């Protein structure tokens, strides 16, 4: 009977471990996809701003007077500031992704350290007459 109980416990533990593994893999895949989407979106915004900066620089070279040149320089300065903010935002996104991965890794580690306890909840005794 003790042997059957041990086998049942081992079986339940293995099934639980397998289901947890599947859930953690799914969560990891979801996290990777989310991270990829966030990074691609940020990089696309930066690429769009880079194109805008190139266009502003072309416009600057074609400025007809000082007033127009000053306005274009102001636009260029603001756009470059926006690009710096977007780059910083990309770094923030990467930090957030790293935190999410650390949290997932911590959960995986805690799953690995789970232990099983056996406790007798009740004892049945009978007599045959």
Residue 93 lies in a domain: yes
**Per-residue pLDDT tens digits of the chain, which is 129 residues long:** 678 878 888 888 888 888 888 888 888 899 899 999 999 999 999 999 999 999 999 999 999 999 999 999 999 999 999 999 999 999 999 999 999 989 988 887 787 776 767 777 888 888 887
Domain residues for the domain of 92 are 29-110
Residue 44 lies in a domain: yes
- d(CA 63, CA 60) in angstroms, rounded, equals 5
Residue 19 lies in a domain: no
Residue 3 lies in a domain: no
- Judge contact between 49 and 86, C-beta under 8 A: yes
Look up the pTM and report it: 0.69
How many folded domains does the chain comprise?
1
Residue 43 lies in a domain: yes
Q: Is 63 left (phi over 0), alpha (psi -120 to 50) or beta?
A: beta
DSSP, residue by residue, 28-80: HHHHHHHHHHHHHHHHHHHHHHHHHHHHHHHHHHT--SHHHHHHHHHHHHHHH
Cβ contacts of 34 within 8 Å, gap of 6 or more: 100
Residue 22 lies in a domain: no
Residue 124 lies in a domain: no
Residue 129 lies in a domain: no
């Amino acid at each position: 009977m003790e042997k059957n109980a041990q086998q049942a416990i081992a079986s339940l533990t293995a099934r639980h471990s397998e289901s947890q593994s599947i859930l953690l893999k799914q969560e990891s895949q979801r996290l990777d996809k989310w991270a990829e989407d966030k990074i691609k979106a940020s990089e696309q915004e930066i690429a769009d701003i880079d194109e805008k900066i190139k266009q502003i620089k072309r416009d600057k070279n074609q400025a007809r007077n000082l007033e127009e040149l000053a306005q274009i320089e102001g636009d260029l300065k603001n756009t470059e500031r926006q690009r710096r903010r977007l780059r910083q935002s990309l770094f923030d996104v990467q930090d957030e992704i790293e935190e999410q991965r650390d949290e997932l890794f911590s959960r995986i580690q805690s799953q690995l350290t789970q232990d099983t306890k056996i406790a007798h909840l009740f004892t049945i005794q009978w007599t045959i007459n």
